[in-house]
Amino acid sequence: MRAAITSLALLAAVLPQALAEASSGGSEAYTPSAADLENIRICKYTAWTWAAIVAALLVYRWTLHLLRHVRQLANLNHGTSSDGRQRYFSLPDENFAMVKRSLINAPLINKRHNREFKLSAAMNVGTLPGRLQTLFLLGYLAMQVAFCVITINWNDTKSFYDDGRNRTGVLAVLNMIPLFLLAGRNNPLIWLLGISFDTYNLVHRWIGRIVVIEAVAHTAFWMSGKIALMGGKGWLMIEVAMAGSQLILTGTIGVCAFIGILLQSPSVVRHAFYETFLHVHIALVIVATGAVWVHLKSLPQQAFVLAAIICWAIERLLRLWRLVRNNTGNGVTKAEIEALPGDAVRVTLRVAKPWKFQPGQHVYLYMPSVGLLQSHPFSVAWSDEQTDFSTEKSLPMARQDIFAARKTTMSLIIRRRTGFTDKMFTKAESSPGGKFSTTAFVEGPYGNQSFQSYGTVMLFAAGVGITHQVPHVRDLVAAYSNGMCATRKVVLVWIIQSPEHLEWIRPWMTQILGMDKRRDILKILLFITRPRSTKEVHSPSASVQMFPGKPDVGALIEKEQATQVGAMAVSVCGTGGLADDVRKATRDRCQRTEMDFFEEAFSW
């Protein structure tokens, strides 16, 4: 958090500086033309628009935050459904519920949002942005188009091409600032506005497309300007300029690199060859940025590129700082990787300097012996007090005070895919005892989330998505037994293909089921979609029930809604299909009682 504030402060210092430098023309003796002044004005409009959006979101976010805080305080240590306070918070505000239903939580059109469009099992063509996301992106695009055309002199051929060329060029570099800022996992807006990295990633991709289009338009204006003014000789001029001028040469390299980035970044490529995509992407970005830097030599707009580079540099430094902070000092971080049934591994990390474990955290894992230069995001599923791997016994948890101590081990459950995770699984499986130890580095934690202000919490998970929900279950049961939350009912719905997947979290479930007062609050519903026999599906107790097949998400939510206590949080982490079902089921019912929807996606 401190890091985010620092970087934000730095950014806040850099941006106006960059803008001011751009408008004053740096130190060069330079008198801006009328068209130049117009471009500066448009840069200012753009910057003000960004500031206004951030400010509006900030107010929205912190109002919600405050509301949740009040709701939690009001319901500490009070009774259940007969209590007027919980009842008060279970009633939705009609207008806000409508907005949530038709805008904030809405998919673009009907139902589809995170279920991928697939050409085949391996070819992922992408997902559809949500309705609000789409509106934002269209709005931004419209603004950029408007800024590209207003106050351009359409009557005079020469000034039309000159104005158009300069305008598109200026806007392209200006947009590089948010483009670079939003690409980072340490982007302070994530924490400040409570918007997830995958949303910023979406915006990053679209601003990137806008930058490429503007850069291409910039080139096109230049070329067609030459041809329009000089006819056949224009082509000759272009050739001469390409060969002789550094300005034109670097511009050409830059625009080619931009086009290269556009061509190598569609969803299909990204998802199929993520590591290759990432490395080529970074290499092309370096080429493009370097070329644009030289291209803008002695022009005030170079300050924009500088601001973008500074955003990038701060983000990289923060990553490095997190890596050093977590993994050094007290030895280095060690990982034990254990193969589990059902194509998964459990990674137990003895982190050199552990942090305060909270639900909703994820880390980036580096494991040089498995994949050099790779880092992959994983949710932290569990944390324990342990001094060494050899001392398996867990310390008695007195008041189940999971809040107090810093944890020394952090555990992940990782499902085998085809790259890094596959290597990890194969290596563990072929090691003696099905496990191996190695040096690892963790970068994080990123994100956190609390449902403690909700009276009723429904957690949906499919497969390995359970890693996101287990910490919530532990957090809520512990907070309940300590009288520290508004939560009175927790329902965990976990959909798995076969009962062997239960192994993934068995030791943790045993601990949770042994927690104080858990029977009063927790219900677990397991759905086995491909049981080998009906004998496999049996319900051990009233609070843990097993069913064959897939759940009817709507019916499950409806059932809890009928006896809802306080406000309800519905969270989902799993396949895009499940997430879309839960989203729809929540939207269909959120006008009857207070209900919020939360989605955690494991991809972008």
Ligand X SMILES: *[C@@H]1O[C@H](CO)[C@@H](O)[C@H](O)[C@H]1NC(C)=O
Ligand Y SMILES: Cc1cc2nc3c(=O)[nH]c(=O)nc-3n(C[C@H](O)[C@H](O)[C@H](O)COP(=O)(O)OP(=O)(O)OC[C@H]3O[C@@H](n4cnc5c(N)ncnc54)[C@H](O)[C@@H]3O)c2cc1C
Binding residues (CB under 6 A) for ligand X: these are 33, 35-36, 159, 162-163, 166, 299
- The 332-371 contact track toward ligand Y, x by CB under 6 A, reads ------------------------------x---------
Chain position whose Cβ is nearest to ligand X = 35
The per-residue b/e assignment along 553-592, b for 16 or more CB within 10 angstroms, e otherwise, is beebbeebbeebbbbbbbbbbbbbebbbbbbbbbbebbbe
| Structural element, H or E, at residue 266 | none
The yes or no reply on residue 126 touching ligand Y (CB under 6 A) is: no
Closest approach of Cβ 446 to ligand Y, in Å?
8
- Output the smallest distance, CB 501 to ligand Y, in A: 12
Report the nearest approach of ligand X to the CB of residue 30 (Å).
Answer: 8
Q: Could you say which of ligand Y, ligand X, none residue 419 binds, taking C-beta under 5 to 8 angstroms by partner kind?
A: ligand Y
Cβ proximity to ligand Y: between 296 and 512 the closer is 512
Q: Which residue is nearest to ligand Y (CB)?
A: 419
Query: Which is closer to ligand X, CB of 220 or CB of 484?
Result: 220
Q: How far is the CB of 39 from ligand X (least distance, A)?
A: 7
SS3 369: coil
Minimum distance of ligand X from residue 301's CB (angstroms): 8
Angle at 496 between CA 490 and CA 502, to 5 degrees: 75
For 451, which DSSP code?
-
Q: How many CB atoms lie within 10 A of CB 456?
A: 27
Region of 31-39, 330-338, 406-414, 575-583 interacting with ligand Y (CB under 6 A): 406-414
The candidate with the shortest Cα–Cα distance to 322, out of 186, 207, 500, 223, is: 186
378 scored as a contact of ligand Y (CB under 6 A)? yes
The reply on whether position 376 binds ligand Y by CB under 6 A is yes
Compute CA 328 distance to the chain's CA centroid, rounded to the nearest angstrom. 27
Angle at CA of residue 307, ends 306 and 308, nearest 5°: 90
Which of ligand X, ligand Y, none does residue 422 bind to, with CB < 5 to 8 Å depending on kind? ligand Y
Q: CA nearest 376: which of 190, 196, 185?
A: 185
Residue 464, binding choice from ligand Y, ligand X, none, Cβ under 5 to 8 Å by partner class: ligand Y
Select from 126, 419, 434, 507 the one that contacts ligand Y (CB under 6 A). 419
Gap between the Cα atoms of 330 and 325, Å rounded: 10
At 452, give phi and psi (nearest 5°): -70, -15
Binding partner at 33 among ligand Y, ligand X, none, C-beta below 5 to 8 Å by kind: ligand X
Q: Report how far residue 602's alpha carbon sits from residue 468's, in angstroms, rounded to the nearest whole number.
A: 10
Residue type, 371: G
Number of residues forming the site for ligand Y (CB under 6 A): 22
Q: Which does 162 bind (CB under 5 to 8 A by kind): ligand Y, ligand X, none?
A: ligand X
Using CB under 6 A, pick the residue from 75, 175, 421, 469 that binds ligand Y. 421
Closest approach of Cβ 172 to ligand X, in Å? 13
Binds ligand Y (CB under 6 A): choice among 161, 420, 454, 460 = 420
Backbone angles phi, psi at 104, to 5 degrees: -60, -45
CB atoms within 10 A of CB 269: 16
Q: Which is nearer to ligand Y, 217 or 413 (CB)?
A: 413
DSSP codes joined into one string, 195-212: --HHHHHHHHHHHHHHHH
Give the binding site for ligand Y (CB under 6 A).
270-271, 274, 362, 376-379, 412-415, 417-422, 464, 467, 602-603
